[in-house]
Structures are given as structure tokens and as C-alpha cells.
Amino acid sequence: MPDPTRPDSTPTVRRSAPQVYELLDEHDLAVRLDTETATVRGIEARVDTKAGTLMALTSGLLVAGLALLGAGKLPGPAALVGWIAAGLLGAAVVLLSAAVRPNLGGSHGFVRWAFAASGRDVLAALSVEQQSPSHIHLAGAEQLHWLSRSLHRKFARIRTAQTLLAAVLAALGR
């Protein structure tokens, strides 16, 4: 504690070198990128589960509807509505299948290493990344961008499939 009676005893504030602040900013950015990427990956797992559940339900409805239509015992207008519903269910199954289909694009994660020519190329890429923090941030940002776009496409396909399912239920409810 400084002595108030002595004017020369005021505490001095040490100024850190600007490099320290840059390192802290880079660390904060790395943490934020890692957090956002983990969040997107967590959402992706839930979306895949949701799409798989909807696909199982929709496939069951489609099989049951086709069995009913295949018997040929429905009157003309009911058969027409049934075939329209079956077509919509089929489209929903295709969309849900596309939503859970693995996306092997991008140049990160296992896809990046799968296309490396050798183990030496993997080591070389990892050692370059270790030396250049800005390169790591750019790679992390690109990965987050790619994952987010992939997740957005999955959500769009599931939403369209749900709209088709609602149309089927509306058509069959009449």
C-alpha cells in the first residue's frame, strides 16, 4: 500500500509489451472459435437424430400408404389423394435422407487428412499450423463457416420435409 505522506511512493503501473496483448487476443479468438465450433457440432448431432426419427416415421407411413394403395380397393378420388400423399411422403423421405447424408466437403478434420498424400504431409501441415497462430485461426474460422453452412442446409431440408408431411396430413384429413 502506498504511503500517502510520501509523494514518491505512488505505485507504478507496469505496461506489458504489445505482444502480450496480441497473444491474449489470439488466445481469446481461439477459445471463441473452439466454443462456436463445438456448439455447431452439438447442434449437428441433434439435427441428425431429429432427421433420422422423422425419416423412420415417414418411411413407415409411406410403406403403409403404398400397401393400402397397392390393394386397389380405394375409390377413384380417394386413390388420387392417396397417390398424391404417397408422392409427398416419398419427397419427404428423399429430403430427410439428404439431410442425414454425410457431407464430405471441406478441407478440415478427417477429410483433410484422408486426402493427404502421406503421413509426412500430415506432419508438415500440422507443423506449419503450430508455427502460425493466424493460420490456425483462419483454418478454424473456415471450419466453423463450412460446418455452419452444412448445418443450415440440413435444417432447410428438414423444414421442407416437415412442410411436406404437414401437407400429407392435411390432404389425408379431408
- Number of folded domains that form the chain: 1
User: Which pLDDT score, from 0 to 100, does residue 113 have?
Assistant: 74
Q: Does any domain span residue 93?
A: yes
Neighbours of 51 (CB within 10 A): 22
User: Which pLDDT score, from 0 to 100, does residue 96 have?
Assistant: 94
Residue 122, helix vs strand vs coil = helix
User: Which pLDDT score, from 0 to 100, does residue 134 have?
Assistant: 72
Q: Does any domain span residue 57?
A: yes
pTM for the structure as a whole: 0.68
Q: How far is the C-alpha of 96 from the C-alpha of 50, rounded, in Å?
A: 9
* Boundaries of domain holding 128: 37-103+116-172
Instruction: Kindly give the parts of the chain with pLDDT less than 50.
Output: 1, 13-14
Do 51 and 99 contact (CB within 8 A), yes or no? yes
